[in-house]
Amino acid sequence: MGGTGRRPNRRRGVAMRRHQRILGSRPGAGSAGRPSMGRRQFIGGAGAAALAAALAGCTGGGQMSRESGGSSGSLQWWDQFRPLTKMLQDHLFAPYMKEHPGVTIERRQMNVPDLGQALQVGRRSNQMPDVHSLAGLGTSAAALVSQGWFQPIGKLADFQGSPVGEFLYDGMHRFDGEVSSFPLFSGRWHEAVPWFNTAMLKQAGVDPEEEPGTWDKLRDVARRLTKGTDDGVYGIVVPSKETEYLQFLVNRLAMTAGAPGGIDWATGAYAYDAQQYVDAIEFLTALQTDKVVHPASPSMGPRDARARWAAGQAGVYLWGAWFIGGLRVDEPEAVERGVGTWHIPCPETTRNVVYSPPQSGTFWVSSQSKRAKDAAQLMLQMTTREFQARLAAAMDQPPVLTDVVEEAEVHPAYRRCVANFQDDVRIAPAPEVGTPGVWQVLAEMRDIHPNLGDIVQSVLTGSTSDVAGELRRYTDAMSAERERAIKVVREEKGVEVGTEAWVFANWDRKADYDQQAYAER
């Protein structure tokens, strides 16, 4: 999402919706063409006084920090990746400090909302960490670059010549020719993996090896689990308290029905009003009608749902690869009882793939940092195959060097999950990579409500039944907001960019949109 992410536009509930994902990183803003909240809204959010307590948030060990800025002279590192705590300390920080006796590294791990708030306060009070992730900020890296949050690191360490060099993209990791970050994780992933309780399936007479490859078969499995297990046990849990989870989920389900995502790359138009989105939402309502969804789902966030699943209250949970890593840290007994995974189901037996953009940068060096060289050199160590294999062993989002999973010490279900991604996921175009001016449009765009997640939540709670109408209004509003942002960027900043930047005529649905595809566009 444990740690979280990121991230993706599939991205995006507003940060104040308190996204509880605890592992992984979110996709880049280009995945549907906008950040989660506009620049003005982001800067004008909660006041520093109201957020000051965030700077006294929990550390990785759960203790309260004694002072907001950490020890004087130390290199400060803030992130949300709780399952990575031991690995980062033992295999990144400790070796670096041993080789550089004058460097002390202090890491603080926080929940996503707390981290986002702490970063906002830290920037306003000149107490930023040297290195941090973007979790909880609810906006694109491009928007933050435009506000001067970061400093380039490409001249301080050779990221271009590192094992991850081929995964560096303009508009995501490079800005104005300068490398500012790199992808720690792979872009070949999705957050709708069906994770199942092996013991519960066997109790209900369901063969874990027989995949429910269609929506109807998954509904049948959920019904059998609900009826064939103990009272109080349900077939599936769908945490719907947080709209961002619902937005992710419906996007992925719509793709399995044949949608390209929130944008039709052949035309560049927003496509949330496509029939596939209606079908995906109706599939979720059908699960409710079947009475196979855990009844407390409306009050659950993703973390709550994982805890309920781990407690044996639900048999299936659609979430990301980081699910099992989080279980191993917080509910290891659930892993011991048995956990498995399937391919993401499609509406029919015909398989459609899902699309994710290239993975955006994970860690960034603050423009306030006085230790940028040490920070960059430390981050460079994360690009080695050795570190990537250790990252895979934490079973978070798959590492950017995905092939190391085969040699890493991981649970068989995680290995299978990552292997399934190779079948099920293709890398989508990212407009900000193809046209430099797009990131300025993304930075200018304001949040639209109700967004996709809001609409899904309203349908599931019975607040609205006009699914097609709500999706059409959202699509129209997104289109109008993009047009407005383009006009502002063109007229006020002199940037030549138009809606054609979202058109990728050479996009092949069955292939990755790679560096060569951008060059041949």
Q: What is the dihedral of CA 255, 520, 486, 429, to 10 degrees?
A: 20
Look at residues 452, 455, 218, 226 and name the one whose alpha carbon lies nearest to residue 318: 218
The Cα-based distances of 236 to 200, 219, 257, 446 in angstroms read 12, 9, 20, 35
Within 8 A by CB and 6+ apart from 443, the residues are 35, 39, 139, 140, 142, 143, 146
User: pLDDT digit of tens for each residue in the chain (521 aa)?
Assistant: 333 333 333 333 333 333 333 233 333 333 344 334 333 333 333 333 333 444 443 333 333 333 333 344 799 999 999 888 999 999 999 999 999 999 999 999 999 889 999 999 999 999 999 999 999 998 888 889 989 999 999 999 999 999 999 999 988 999 889 999 999 999 999 999 999 999 999 999 999 999 999 999 999 999 999 998 888 899 999 999 999 999 999 999 999 999 999 999 999 999 999 999 999 999 999 999 999 999 999 999 999 999 999 999 999 999 999 999 999 989 999 999 999 999 999 999 999 999 999 999 999 999 999 999 999 999 999 999 999 999 999 999 999 999 999 999 999 999 999 999 999 999 999 998 999 889 889 889 999 999 999 999 999 999 999 999 999 999 999 999 999 999 999 999 999 999 999 999 999 999 999 999 999 99
| Range 193-347 classified under CATH 3.40.190.10 | yes
| Residues, the chain | 521
Return the SS3 of 178: strand
At 196, give phi and psi (nearest 5°): -130, 155
Residue 246: its pLDDT value, please?
98
Do the domains at 49-188+360-427 and 193-347 have one common CATH topology? yes
What is the bridge-based pairing of β-strands 425-427 and 354-356?
parallel
Q: Alpha-carbon distance 351 to 255, whole Å?
A: 10
> What are the tokens at 200?
């519960």
Contact 192, 167 (CB under 8 A): no
| Residues linked to residue 132 through DSSP beta bridges, in sequence order | 78, 364
Q: What does the domain layout of the chain look like in residue ranges?
A: 49-188+360-427, 193-347, 431-501
Q: What angle, 0 to 180 degrees and rounded to 10, lies between the N-to-C axes of helices 467-493 and 275-289?
A: 140
Residue written as token pair 């250790």: 390
Classify domain 49-188+360-427 by CATH number: 3.40.190.10
